[in-house]
Amino acid sequence: MAAPVPPGTLPAGFELVAGWVPGAEAAELFTHLREVVPWEHKRVLVFGKEHPVPRLTCWFGPSAYSYSGSTNEAHPITSIPALEDLRQHLESFTGASFNSLLANYYRDGRDSMGWHSDDEVELGPSPTIASVSLGAARDFHLRPRGGGPVVRARLGGGDLLVMSGRSQMDWQHSLPKRAASEPRINLTYRLFDPRAPASEGLQLGAEAPAP
Ligand SMILES: O=C(O)CCC(=O)C(=O)O
């Protein structure tokens, strides 16, 4: 079993487990998911103007959700056995429950994720989010919501980042653009309650520009 990166390396509420999916398996999973996930290139409204989201995405979960004038159709996790298998392993490893998953495909260094917190009403006040990275390593940044220096981490293929406790209340995260990068896939497993009072929706494209 892969060991967590020593405590204190990341802020409280963030635990990085390097090589959680072992090397060869992580590489195979990347190739498989790149082929079988029905990737979509969404467009979102930002200040009334439509923009393409700078990555490909796919939402798996119990129901569709909408944000910024764009509806994300829900695909069942069980439609891709490898994603359901990962879900079950993540539940055993973390002790948390997951019923949904946002898959992001960063085609190259121009693809990115802007500053945001996963703090939507449907996720509850202190969600546990399990984020699995596959493919190329990319920088991952954290910044305190109240202001303060950026904490820099690197997420490699097979790494698992677990965000829990006050992580979404106290911090924002982003995946900045880079001059060059090989492709990468990230899978964030969540527990999504479709009956929660409507919010702005998951921040799939409503994030601030990537640094
Ligand atoms: O690609 C990543 O590691 C970040 C994904 C992310 O921030 C999200 O899905 O909310």
pLDDT at 71: 77
How far apart, in whole angstroms, are the C-alpha atoms of residue 42 and residue 56? 7
- Mean pLDDT, the chain, as a whole number? 90
Summarised one tens digit per residue, pLDDT across range 170-211 is 999 999 999 999 999 999 999 988 788 655 444 443 466 556
Torsional sign, CA 193, 199, 205, 209? negative
Lookup: tokens for 39: 């990737």
Structure confidence by residue, pLDDT tens digits, 48-68: 888 999 999 999 999 887 666
Percent of the chain with pLDDT over 90: 73
- Residue 91's pLDDT band (cuts 50, 70, 90): very high
Q: What residue ranges do the domains of the chain occupy?
A: 14-190
pLDDT of residue 199: 53
Better-scored residue on pLDDT, 30 or 124: 30
Taking 90 as the threshold, does the pLDDT of residue 101 lie above it?
Answer: yes
Q: What is the DSSP string of 32-81?
A: HHHHHS--B--EEEETTEEEE-SSEEEEESSS-EEETTEEEPPBPGGGSH
Mutate to test the pocket of ligand 1, among 113, 172, 189, 190 (most ligand atoms within 8 A of CB): 113
- The Cα 55–Cα 104 span in angstroms is 7
b/e code 71-82 from CB counts within 10 Å (16+ = b): ebebbebeebee
Q: Provide the whole-model pTM.
A: 0.91
Give the separation between CA 91 and CA 82, rounded to whole angstroms.
Answer: 14
The residues with which 133 forms a beta bridge, in sequence order, are 186
CATH class held by domain 14-190 = mainly beta
User: Quick one: pLDDT at residue 68?
Assistant: 60
Closest ligand 1 atom to Cα of 104:
1
In this predicted structure, the answer to whether residue 1 has a pLDDT above a threshold of 90 is: no
Task: Decide which of 130 and 193 is more confident.
Answer: 130
**Residue 59 DSSP symbol:** E
- Ligand 1 atom nearest to 173, measured from its CA: 7
Number of the ligand 1 atom closest to the C-alpha atom of 184: 1
How does DSSP classify residue 165?
A: T
Pocket of ligand 1 (CB under 6 A): 102, 104, 113, 118, 131, 133, 140, 155, 173, 175, 186, 188
Ligand 1, atom 1, residue with closest C-alpha: 186
Residue nearest to atom 8 of ligand 1 (CA): 188
Residue 24 alpha carbon to ligand 1 centre in Å: 23
pLDDT score recorded for residue 63: 86
Q: What is the mean pLDDT of residues 143-169?
A: 96
pLDDT at 36: 98
